[in-house]
Chains A and B, each alone.
Chain A
Amino acid sequence: AQSVTQLGSHVSVSEGALVLLRCNYSSSVPPYLFWYVQYPNQGLQLLLKYTSAATLVKGINGFEAEFKKSETSFHLTKPSAHMSDAAEYFCAVSDRGGSNYKLTFGKGTLLTVNP
């Protein structure tokens, strides 16, 4: 079975600082990879996804993530944090092919941004 590990349940950064949220997956075959953001009392929103060849994926709100097969990682970064980035972030994976609908999520990382 696939699994996702998000290192750090809580990350705190200053406004304007680099954001780095870590995600590692376990899968014998490179899966599809996703980052979702969840604001309080709102549904999960897709930030970005890796489903094909390009290993550096750009998403919404200035976020990007790089798929590194050798490290089985898909870390999320943003060069300069904004107060509005404060939220919970989830990394997720799914199989390629017929069962690609079944998302397996990490436990999440709560990002706080200090003024």
Chain B
Amino acid sequence: GAGVSQTPSNKVTEKGKYVELRCDPISGHTALYWYRQSLGQGPEFLIYFQGTGAADDSGLPNDRFFAVRPEGSVSTLKIQRTERGDSAVYLCASSLTSGTTYNEQFFGPGTRLTVL
């Protein structure tokens, strides 16, 4: 079946602009995650959705970052007033419902964001 997809694969924007990054999870996966991978680093957790609600947004770096998942499927990560330091690969993952039993997270290919 289809895996996690992310669009666009590459996004170049100018400092101060607004961007939206989209994630389509695997069908039937109720849990969705966003991570950010800066150059030379491992992915860092940003936010976790269970269904439509953000169950844990503790990884969002500041209030310029926001994510939504209005119908419990597709998610959009929104970044306002982009800064050069936001340049990174943004990864999305999904899994069956998260709970006390670990469920494998399946990752998409990522969106490479470059802020000029």
Residues of A that sit less than 8 Å from B by CB? 4, 9, 32, 36, 41-46, 49, 51, 90, 92, 94, 97-108
Give the dominant DSSP class at A's interface: loop
> B110, A49: Cβ atoms under 8 Å?
no
Residues of B within 8 A of A4 (CB): 42
CB of A21 to closest CB in B, whole Å = 13
Give the dominant DSSP class at B's interface: loop
Distance between Cα atoms of A102 and B31 in the complex (Å): 12
> B45, A104: Cβ atoms under 8 Å?
yes
CB < 8 Å neighbour of A102 from B45, B100, B109, B110 = B45
A-B contact pairs, 13 of them (CB 8 A): A43-B4, A44-B107, A90-B43, A100-B102, A101-B48, A101-B56, A101-B98, A102-B48, A103-B43, A103-B45, A104-B45, A106-B42, A107-B41
B40 contacts partner chain A, Cβ-Cβ < 8 Å: yes
CB of A11 to closest CB in B, whole Å = 16
Distance between Cα atoms of A107 and B43 in the complex (Å): 8
Distance between Cα atoms of A9 and B82 in the complex (Å): 30
> A90, B100: Cβ atoms under 8 Å?
no
> B110, A43: Cβ atoms under 8 Å?
yes
Distance between Cα atoms of A98 and B48 in the complex (Å): 12
Within 8 A of A (CB), among B26-75: 31, 33, 35, 40-45, 48, 56, 59
> A103, B107: Cβ atoms under 8 Å?
no
> B45, A107: Cβ atoms under 8 Å?
no
Residues of A within 8 A of B40 (CB): 9, 107
> A92, B42: Cβ atoms under 8 Å?
yes
- Additional A-B contact list (16), CB under 8 Å, known A42-B109, A101-B56, A108-B41: A4-B42, A9-B40, A32-B102, A36-B107, A41-B109, A43-B91, A44-B43, A44-B107, A45-B107, A46-B104, A51-B102, A90-B42, A97-B100, A101-B105, A102-B48, A107-B42
